[in-house]
Each structure stands twice: as C-alpha cells, then as structure tokens.
Structure 1
C-alpha cells in the first residue's frame, strides 16, 4: 500500500501548509468517511462544518477558506482543490491489470496487421486485415478492431469495445468497456410502395482525435459519407450517442445520456449536460453550454448557455420557471 508523509504530499502540490501531523497518509477519502490516515478535500464553505468531526489527518482546502487544522492535523491551501485532488488520486492510483504475455495465444491477429512495439493484446481479441496499431497500444480482452482501422500510440481500449472497419483513432485515447466506434449510422427512408423502410448505406468512417476519452456503452456512428469526427481532447461520458456525420471540435464535454443527432456540429469547448438532446443539422458554437435535460432545436451562439425544452437562453428560461411557480402559488392562495 502506498504511503506518503504530509511533507511529501505538500512538496508535490506546492501549497500553503497550516498545522502538522505525524500520521502517514495512505489515501484520499470523502470528509465524512475518512479515517486517521486519509487526506480529504474542502472546496467550498458548504463542507467546512464537517471538518471538526472528520477523522482525516489532513485536508486540501481552497485558498479563500479560513479554518483551523486542530491537534495533530494539517491543512494545505491550494488555488484549485479539484486539480490538486487529481494529483493526489494519481499518486494512489492502483496498478492496471497485468498482461502475462504481450499477445495472448487466444487472440486472432491477421497476418497483414502492423503491431507497434510495446503493444499488449488480451485474450479473445480480434485484430483484422491491414489494421495498424501504434506503439504501446493496449487492447484488453474481448476487443475487436476490424479491417483497415488505425489506432495511434498509447491508446487504451477496454474490454467489449468494437472498432469497425476503416476507422481512425488518435494517440493516447481511452475507450472504456463496450464502446462502439463506427457502427452504421441510423439512416432509413420509406420505400416507394409505402410498405417498408429502405436502409441507406453508411459508407463513411469515424475519425477520433488525440487524448479523447469515451465512457462505457457510448456509441460514435460512422458517417453516411465522409467522416464522423471527434476532436482532440474531447471527453465523453457513459451512455452517450454521437450520430452519423456529426463533428465535435476540440475539448468538448458530453455528460451521460446526452446525444447528438445526425450532422450536428460542435465548436471548441462546448459542454453538453446530462440527458440533453441536440437536433440534427444544428450548430453549437464554441464555448457554449447546454444545460442538463435540455432539447436544442436551433443553433446556439458562441459562449451562450441554454436551458430547457426547447432550449433557450438560460436566464430567460429561469425567469419563466420562476413566473410559473409564482402563478401556481397565486392560484393556491386564491383557492
């Protein structure tokens, strides 16, 4: 088990140290669950009241908080508690599963595939014809990478993920369990006789940038033609749908259960809240935010925050909700 002294922790964080403790620090924990060998975190005044009763020997706190550490306890003041806690979590991060062989004997790797130095391919994986894996790619058990796909160096693909043919994945990406990359886009039209549906062929691919992370059970569909694109640094939560021909700029965030319909365009740094839905052929410009549960029907200006269903300027939507609540109160008072 990893263990650090308070000084070692603060040397890494370069924070302002208040108080001291002789306890070794064996991990981070929530303030109300922490034991005597834990470090916790207090990012705002809401959690200050829990410090006195907490058993934690140390806490990361915001620079603006005025607190006393107490006996044999310490506080480390930092500019950004969340980022500092990320550094602490990295210190105590357990090792990943071990590969006893670089390529498991049950893996099927086509003779034409190019496998870079340091790659690990787990049990029951499939690597198809003319696939290229850059160096240090990790495919955990039961991953499928189909023909003519390319995966950049250092990318990690967890079990159950399927990367369909002709897709391009950048370097240092992380795909969690059961991600689908490059499945057919959802394209159907009524048949001429009106008795059925005609499937529209989806002949494009998916292009994923560098440093992209995609959560479990999320789907990025291939384009009808050209490419569905996820830009560098995008972070996608679990159970997210990205439909055919959508284009995401750099460093976008999509929270769980949100979805882009076909041919949606996101600028750089767009944030999509959980369960939000974006109508096809709309554009959300750079720096915009879509609130959780919203339904975007029209283009969103750069830097704007929208909310509601249908989504509109967040301030206007909040005023409407407040007016409705006031109306309900008035009706009850009159009854």
Structure 2
C-alpha cells in the first residue's frame, strides 16, 4: 500500500500534510472510509469535505485550505483520480499458457494466456502478454498487439487487426460483415462480399456486445485511444478519429468519417456517407443527418413530456411554417403602425 509521497512520486502533484499517510483504495467523499483517498473535482461537493471518512483527499489548488486532511494538490483532480484508481486497482490477468480445452492453430509467445474453449485460427499474429479469454474466437489471419486483453466470448473475424493495449469486453464482435446488398428488380437482395478489414489502433476499448463491421472494400478504421461503450454499432468503412468516445447504444452508419476527440452521447445516431468535424459533441439521442463542418455541441433530441402535451405539440408542428409567415406579417404591420403619427 503506497504512501502519499510514493503516489506523488509516481503520478506527480504536491503533498500537503502527512506524506507518510498510507492509502489502499479510492472512494467518494461521501462513502470513503479510513485508509481510502477521495477527491474533489467540483465545488458543489465541497461541503462533503467536512464529514468525509477518507484518510486523504485530492484537491485543486483553489481548495487547498478547505480541508486539514493529508492531501495531494493537483490541477485536474478527476484525471488524477482516474490514474490513481488504476494504480491501486491493476487489472488482474490470468497466468500465461494455453488451457487444455483451447484450440490454437498459430504459433504464439509463451507470455500469452488462452482461456478455456477459446479458438485461435491459423496465420494469426499474437503479441506479447496478450490475454484471450474463455470462449473467444480469433479467426484466421487476425493480429492482436502486445498487452491487449480480450474478455470471454469475444469474436474476431478473419484478418481483424487489434492494436496494443486494447481492451475488448465480452460479447463484442469485430470484423463481421457490413450491411451491404444490391437489389434485384424483383426486390430480392444480393449480398455484396465484405472484403475489407476491421482495424483498431492502440489503446482502444470496446464495450460489451459492441459490433464493428469490416469494410466492404476499404478497411473500417478505429483510431488510437477510441473508447466505445456497450452496444455501440460501427458500420462498414467508418473511420473514427483518435480519442473519440461513444456512449451506449449509439451508432455510426457506413462510410462516415468521424474526426478526432468527438464525443457522442447515448442512443445518438450518425448518418452514412458524411463527415463530422473533430472536437464535435453530439448530445444523447441526437441524429446527425448531414456533414458537420464546424465543431460545437449539436442537439436534436426532444425532452420527455406528458403524452397529451406531446400530441398537442405534434399537431402544431405541421403548421409552424405558416405560423412563422403570419408572425412576420404581423410584425411588419405593427412596425408600420408605430411609424405613423
């Protein structure tokens, strides 16, 4: 268990008070107990400093005198808390080796762990210290970079590429066929073979039951540092820029290019064959239907209201254009009347 001085030696910051204070876990100001360290990232939680049971706290410079507890002073307490939580809670990984029930048809390093009932196909390239959890399927020709972790029942279709230090959660399917069909005059559909790949950069995290389709011709590309929540859908030929983050149940349709550092809220949707500028924020349940050239916050979702109110509002929506026209005419007439003596 590290002391505050040891933590600052690893993560930076400045200690105020007893630097020999030992902490074993992180916690919130409201629920932290002795031996834990909490943090203050917003002034609205400042009152909780007076009653917290934590042994130490992480504070911004403006709140340095707000507590007498041993404390670490940093400019970004929430970011520091994230790194401290990683330090105190390292990912538990199984021992290296291939479980007797696994089937491995490629040569893999001795440092790799392959869990029960997992399958690794031929011609795969598996990096050092990779973990392939129970029930995973890694099909022929796939690549997984050093220190990446696949939790149980992840499926990588053929020729999928996973970068270094990636985390893929259970049930994710990467490299499955995109939704590509041509239509006969009769209305029947003809499948278009999806011959591109799904390529993930380094430090990507993919949530449970998220799907990333392979490209139809070119690759689907997920940039370095991208974070995808659970049940996110990325269609074929999509390009996601570095450090973009998407919340649960959101999706991007085919052949769309999303810039770097974009944030997409839950249940939001982005249309196909468009572009979204870097540093754009898409609010929850928002539909982006055309290219976004300028970064900003974009919102289209309608807040919930009682059903009867919604029905009345919906009836008025159809007449908005006519109402606006009438309003402008009335404003013009009023202005004319005001100019008369």
TM, length-normalised to structure 1: 0.84
Deviation at 1:125, TM superposition (A): 0.8
Of the three residues 16, 25, 29, the one matched with 1:31 is 29
Seen in structure 2, the aligned counterparts of structure 1 residues 175 and 292 have a Cα distance that, compared at 3 Å, is same
Alignment of 1:136-285 (within 5 A): 136-194=129-187, 196-285=188-277
Distance 2:210 2:56 in 1: 38
1:212-238: CA deviation from partner (whole Å, max 9, x where unpaired): 111111110011222111112212111
Unaligned regions of 5+ residues in structure 1, if any? 311-323, 325-335
Aligned partner of residue 291 in structure 2, secondary structure: coil
Deviation at 1:180, TM superposition (A): 0.6
Distance 1:143 1:12 in 2: 35
Distance 2:158 2:14 in 1: 52
Distance 1:216 1:79 in 2: 33
Deviates more, 1:241-250 or 1:59-68: 59-68
1:60-98: CA deviation from partner (whole Å, max 9, x where unpaired): 01122254324xx22322111122112321221155142
Contact residue 94 and residue 113 of structure 2 kept, 8 A? no
Seen in structure 2, the aligned counterparts of structure 1 residues 7 and 167 have a Cα distance that, compared at 3 Å, is closer
Unaligned regions of 5+ residues in structure 2, if any? 303-316, 318-341
1:213-271: CA deviation from partner (whole Å, max 9, x where unpaired): 11111110011222111112212111111001111122221122110011111122222
Q: Greater Rg, structure 1 or structure 2?
A: 2
Contact residue 288 and residue 301 of structure 1 kept, 8 A? no
Match of 2:309 in 1: none
Distance 2:301 2:123 in 1: 46
Seen in structure 2, the aligned counterparts of structure 1 residues 7 and 208 have a Cα distance that, compared at 3 Å, is closer
Of the three residues 44, 58, 61, the one matched with 2:59 is 61
Distance 1:52 1:44 in 2: 15
TM, length-normalised to structure 2: 0.82
Distance 2:299 2:131 in 1: 40
Distance 1:169 1:75 in 2: 40
Aligned alpha-carbon RMSD (Å): 2.2
Contact residue 149 and residue 164 of structure 1 kept, 8 A? yes
1:272-291: CA deviation from partner (whole Å, max 9, x where unpaired): 22221001111002222212
Aligned partner of residue 97 in structure 2, secondary structure: coil
Deviation at 1:117, TM superposition (A): 4.4
Aligned partner of residue 51 in structure 1, secondary structure: helix
Contact residue 241 and residue 259 of structure 1 kept, 8 A? yes
Seen in structure 2, the aligned counterparts of structure 1 residues 150 and 52 have a Cα distance that, compared at 3 Å, is same
Match of 2:4 in 1: 6
Match of 1:332 in 2: none
Deviation at 1:201, TM superposition (A): 2.5
Distance 1:147 1:17 in 2: 52
Of the three residues 56, 68, 71, the one matched with 1:75 is 71
Seen in structure 2, the aligned counterparts of structure 1 residues 15 and 250 have a Cα distance that, compared at 3 Å, is closer
More helix by share: 2
Match of 2:314 in 1: none
Seen in structure 2, the aligned counterparts of structure 1 residues 6 and 232 have a Cα distance that, compared at 3 Å, is closer
Deviation at 1:10, TM superposition (A): 3.8
Contact residue 97 and residue 110 of structure 2 kept, 8 A? no
Length, aligned pairs only:
303
